[in-house]
Amino acid sequence: MARTRVLILGGGYVGLYTALTLLRKARDRVEVTVLDRRPYMTYAPFLPEAAAGSIEPRHAVVPLRRELEGARILQGRATAIDHAGRTVTAATDLGEEFTVEYDEVVVALGAVSRTLPIPGLAEFGMGFKYVEEAISLRNRVLGRIARAATTTDPAQRRRLLTFVFVGGGFAGCEAFAETEDMAKAALRYYPELSGEDLNFVMVEAAPRILPEMGPEMGEYTRVELERRGMRVLLETRLEGCVDGRIELSNGERFEADTVVWTAGVKPSPVLAASDLPLGPRGHVSAAATLQVVDADGVPVPGAWAAGDCAQVPNLVEGEGDWCAPSAQHAVRQAKHLGRNLAAHLSGAPLAEYRHRHLGLVASLGLNKGVASVMGVKLRGWPAWVMHRTYHLLAIPTFNRKARVALDWTAAVFFRRDLVSMGRLHEPRRAFQEAARS
């Protein structure tokens, strides 16, 4: 009997766990293909620690080819989904176009940064969703510190050491706090500079930060960050950053060499180039069975979706509520989707996805954190320990768990690695200069 061709779009949390579940439950009945721009799954909760030098960035990603034995991995960018024709169009990094045919599609494309048309943002800002951005932020911060130590111009030094983070949500707070912690640690090697030279500014449009953890933990975090000398500007918007000239809605004007945008996400824009039914905010509409559904809630044959790109009803919270974009939901939805798809292929009934969000743990630098788990709120060192324990257990594969644990252990004995690889982005420069001389 011919195997069912299952195409999984995106090899992130949902893509990896759906493929693993499907291969376990229905290996002899399916031909699994995973299409992703990157050959790895990114464990996003470790990106702030990768940016801060506590984890080797490669250890925060899980190679798809190694973990998905029995699946076909295609590296390319999906550009259009023709579900009526059961075809996806994609392009390689070299620009070559190709198409993939399927019987069942799993849409797991995740989300992209949600930006606003702010002058200078697209040209000057950077995001914080992928490992390359974490590496780049780390190199940038350490590189700016090194340059600031060699300039005698105070205005230039101030600009180099001003880091603006826009968005005080979960990922933004972690990236902000971890990067500052690393920058402070790096200053021990720069006698020319002191902690007062660092100027870390967070800009948040809402009246509080960390909304995911509730007002009490948000306020605790704000006070804690300000105690460390960082500025948290609430009810303030970034209005411009052309060439690093920062303009804020509270009237402040100053210069910064680094602007990091962490102000939320929106579903993958590729969905707009598909004939799949989308919700009001651009997500694929899904039922609690994780089948894609039309406006009347009728399943679209052959289409499934989960994770940040999907609008999945939250049955635990009741009518009209949707699952928030989080790794916690993404992993559980993916396993559920894999089981339902395997059941569908054998004609068995489908189950509905139900999960009560357990809460969140966040790291705010070495030995510092906040946690709100099942009503229990922790601060400081206990929350940080909980963060590390939880994520060490949660990162997929023994291989990655072991490598991350070794990174942390090495840092206890040798301190974290604070070398900047600023030239990583220009690998041919030295050779070209030599060739010209």
Ligand X SMILES: Cc1cc2nc3c(=O)[nH]c(=O)nc-3n(C[C@H](O)[C@H](O)[C@H](O)COP(=O)(O)OP(=O)(O)OC[C@H]3O[C@@H](n4cnc5c(N)ncnc54)[C@H](O)[C@@H]3O)c2cc1C
The strand ranges marked E within 104-218 are: 104-107, 111-113, 162-166, 199-203
CB under 8 Å to 61, separation ≥6 — which residues?
A: 38, 40, 41, 42, 43, 131
**Choices 117-125, 302-310, 315-323, 417-425; region in contact with ligand X by CB under 6 A:** 302-310
Residue with the CB atom nearest ligand X in the bound state: 12
38-58 burial code (b ≥16 CB/10 A, e <16)? bebbbbbbbbbbbbbbbbebe
- Environment class of residue 397 by beta-carbon count within 10 Å: exposed (0-12), middle (13-18) or buried (19+)? middle
- Report the alpha-carbon distance of residue 193 to residue 186 in Å, rounded: 10
Selected binder of ligand X within 52, 106, 108, 337 (CB under 6 A): 108
CB under 8 Å to 129, separation ≥6 — which residues?
A: 42, 44, 47, 111, 112, 113, 171, 265
User: Residue 180 or residue 197: which is nearer to ligand X going by CB?
Assistant: 180
- Report the alpha-carbon distance of residue 13 to residue 307 in Å, rounded: 8
If binding is defined by CB under 6 A, does position 308 make contact with ligand X? yes
Q: State whether residue 267 is helix, strand or coil.
A: strand
Selected binder of ligand X within 168, 307, 365, 369 (CB under 6 A): 307
If binding is defined by CB under 6 A, does position 10 make contact with ligand X? yes
Selected binder of ligand X within 20, 45, 100, 201 (CB under 6 A): 45
Q: How far is the CB of 214 from ligand X (least distance, A)?
A: 16
User: Residue 181 or residue 308: which is nearer to ligand X going by CB?
Assistant: 308
**Choices 143-151, 187-195, 293-301, 304-312; region in contact with ligand X by CB under 6 A:** 304-312
**Choices 44-52, 279-287, 376-384, 395-403; region in contact with ligand X by CB under 6 A:** 44-52
If binding is defined by CB under 6 A, does position 136 make contact with ligand X? no
If binding is defined by CB under 6 A, does position 277 make contact with ligand X? no
If binding is defined by CB under 6 A, does position 11 make contact with ligand X? yes
Q: State whether residue 201 is helix, strand or coil.
A: strand
User: Residue 287 or residue 306: which is nearer to ligand X going by CB?
Assistant: 306
Q: Are 350 and 344 in contact (CB under 8 A)?
A: yes
Handedness of CA 260, 262, 265, 268 (dihedral sign): positive
**Choices 104-112, 159-167, 203-211, 377-385; region in contact with ligand X by CB under 6 A:** 104-112
Selected binder of ligand X within 53, 57, 110, 277 (CB under 6 A): 110
- Environment class of residue 255 by beta-carbon count within 10 Å: exposed (0-12), middle (13-18) or buried (19+)? middle
DSSP 69: T
Q: How far is the CB of 247 from ligand X (least distance, A)?
A: 26
Selected binder of ligand X within 23, 34, 47, 305 (CB under 6 A): 47
Q: Binding pattern to ligand X, positions 77-96, x when CB under 6 A?
A: xx------------------
User: Residue 11 or residue 125: which is nearer to ligand X going by CB?
Assistant: 11
Tokens 């559920």 map to which residue?
336
200-218 burial code (b ≥16 CB/10 A, e <16)? bbbbbbeebbbebbeeebb
Q: Binding pattern to ligand X, positions 154-173, x when CB under 6 A?
A: -----------------x--
Binding residues vs ligand X (CB under 6 A): 10-15, 35-38, 44-45, 47, 77-78, 108-110, 128-129, 171, 268, 270, 307-309, 325-328, 330, 360
